[in-house]
Amino acid sequence: MRRRIVALVAGMVTLVVLAFAVPLALVIRHNVYNDAKRALQNETFTIAAVSHGYASPPTEAQLISFLAGIQGDRHASMRLADGKVIGRLPPGGQPAVVNPNPLAVRPGDPVAPPAGGLGPGRATLTERHSGLLATLTNYDSDRGGLTTIWVWESAADLHSGETGWWILLAASSLGLLLIGIGLAELMGRRLVRPLLHTAQTAQQLAVGETGARAPTDGPPEIAEVGRSLNRLADRIDELIAEERETVADLSHRLRTPLTTLRLDAEALRDPAEAERVGQHVNALERMLTAVIHAARRPQREGRMPSCDAREVVADRVEFWSALTEDQGRTCTVSVPDESVPVRAAAEDLAAAVDALLENVIAHTPEGSDFSVVLSAADSGARLDVGDAGPGIPDDAELRGRSDRGSTGLGLDIARRCAQGSGGSMTIGRSPAGGALVTLLLGRP
């Protein structure tokens, strides 16, 4: 976005600069050309003044030396009163001499033209051989006749003074363009920086960091976006808190029937049966307590939840080992020797592992082998749970979908745990031909 703003402002500045620079360049060309024409006319006046002299008229040799010493590429020549032409003639040879109106040029007329008109002694300008020819005819009272002065200059020399002005104009235009781009860069950063922070806040909220808040500074429109996002985050906090309290309340209500169930178990006459049912009741009570604690877990802990996946997986496999041994199952367990930190609460990861192991026990024949492999990965950790059963249907990971009499929530619990940590869950085929569920868990 910042590049688009800079490009837009640079384009607008360029258009403005061109709108002023092009007409100004034409004005410069016109003025330089007019100044060159006046300088060409003034050259003829200077030659006329020199030819008349101050005390005595110059000799022919002195006039030839003066004409030869004129600076630049100008061609200066002069037709004397006796008809002789001296100096450097313009291209194309001697111009045609037109005798002026006797009433226009008389003995004693001034050399320089009078102010405000084309009067006597005025140099005329005509185009000749890609240049400009200035012609001045005066009466030479010392020599008793008319003299004609020609000064020619090429069109390229007449426009040569434009180069410096155009360079100055180009440098000024470039400077204005650079200043405009610099201001656009500053303005773009001022606009984009709070937008980037707001986008980062939205990404943090998307991964579960509900404590993130967007900046409310910068331009009013962008600040309003940040305030709106913050209000949305506050509302999300409120909804999550309400949902967690509702779940906790519902879980707490289950304690009453659970107590009744415990009393019924203790009333059984068979001590072995009572102990077995009591163990199941105790496990259910522990699970219910964990649900209540998880539901009331603070939302803003100052850090993301984390745990050691190695300890959690080993603990849950040990918990299910008694049942798997009773069913004659062989469990292959592989966990690293060092800790494997992941971005998930221990309760959530334990619930996910329990859901996967429960699926294996509930939906594969007794005696079927299974494996649990935990390994460290670049993103965090990888947990593979494979079995030798019939496999899992393609739509089994949909929440509430099951074709085997269960609630259909087990795989969804595992999937949500993986996605909550920044990872994912995939379902495939194990080497034994059964199901293979893979959880990729993010690093804290």
Q: What is the pLDDT of residue 103?
A: 40
Dump pLDDT digits (tens) for 22-44: 888 888 888 988 988 888 888 88
- The C-alpha angle 38, 41, 44, rounded to 5 degrees, equals 155
Ranges of the chain whose pLDDT falls below 50:
101-120, 299-303, 397-407
Asked if the structure places residue 264 within a domain, the reply is no
Q: What is the pLDDT of residue 99?
A: 55
Same domain (yes/no): 110, 187: no
Same domain (yes/no): 237, 309: no
Asked if the structure places residue 268 within a domain, the reply is no
What pTM does this model have? 0.43
Same domain (yes/no): 199, 133: no
Asked if the structure places residue 389 within a domain, the reply is yes
* Whole-angstrom distance, CA of residue 168 vs CA of residue 165: 5
Dump pLDDT digits (tens) for 77-111: 999 888 899 999 988 888 877 655 444 444 444 44
What angle, 0 to 180 degrees and rounded to 10, lies between the N-to-C axes of helices 346-363 and 309-326?
A: 30
Q: What is the DSSP string of 8-57?
A: HHHHHHHHHHHHHHHHHHHHHHHHHHHHHHHHHHHHHHHHHHHHH-SSSP
Asked if the structure places residue 295 within a domain, the reply is no
Same domain (yes/no): 169, 315: no
Dump pLDDT digits (tens) for 297-333: 654 444 467 899 999 999 999 989 888 888 888 999 9
Asked if the structure places residue 265 within a domain, the reply is no
Same domain (yes/no): 340, 364: yes
Same domain (yes/no): 60, 175: no
Same domain (yes/no): 136, 173: no
**Pairing outcome for strands 370-376 and 331-334:** parallel
Q: What is the pLDDT of residue 284?
A: 76
Q: How many residues does the chain have?
A: 444
- We report the CATH number of the domain holding residue 400 as 3.30.565.10
Tokens, residue 234: 């506050």
Same domain (yes/no): 46, 132: yes
Same domain (yes/no): 169, 147: no
Same domain (yes/no): 12, 148: yes
Q: What is the pLDDT of residue 304?
A: 62
Q: What total of structural domains would you count in the chain? A: 3
Asked if the structure places residue 282 within a domain, the reply is no
Q: What is the pLDDT of residue 372?
A: 94
Same domain (yes/no): 132, 30: yes
Q: What is the pLDDT of residue 405?
A: 46
Q: What is the pLDDT of residue 10?
A: 75
91 and 128 Cβ atoms separated by less than 8 Å: yes
Q: Which of 139, 160, 181 is the last residue of a domain?
A: 160
Q: What is the pLDDT of residue 152?
A: 92
Asked if the structure places residue 275 within a domain, the reply is no
Residues spanned by the domain of 77? 2-160
CB atoms within 10 A of CB 3: 10
Q: What is the pLDDT of residue 54?
A: 64
Same domain (yes/no): 354, 248: no
Q: Which of 160, 180, 207 is the last residue of a domain?
A: 160
Q: Which of 125, 160, 195 is the last residue of a domain?
A: 160
Asked if the structure places residue 197 within a domain, the reply is yes
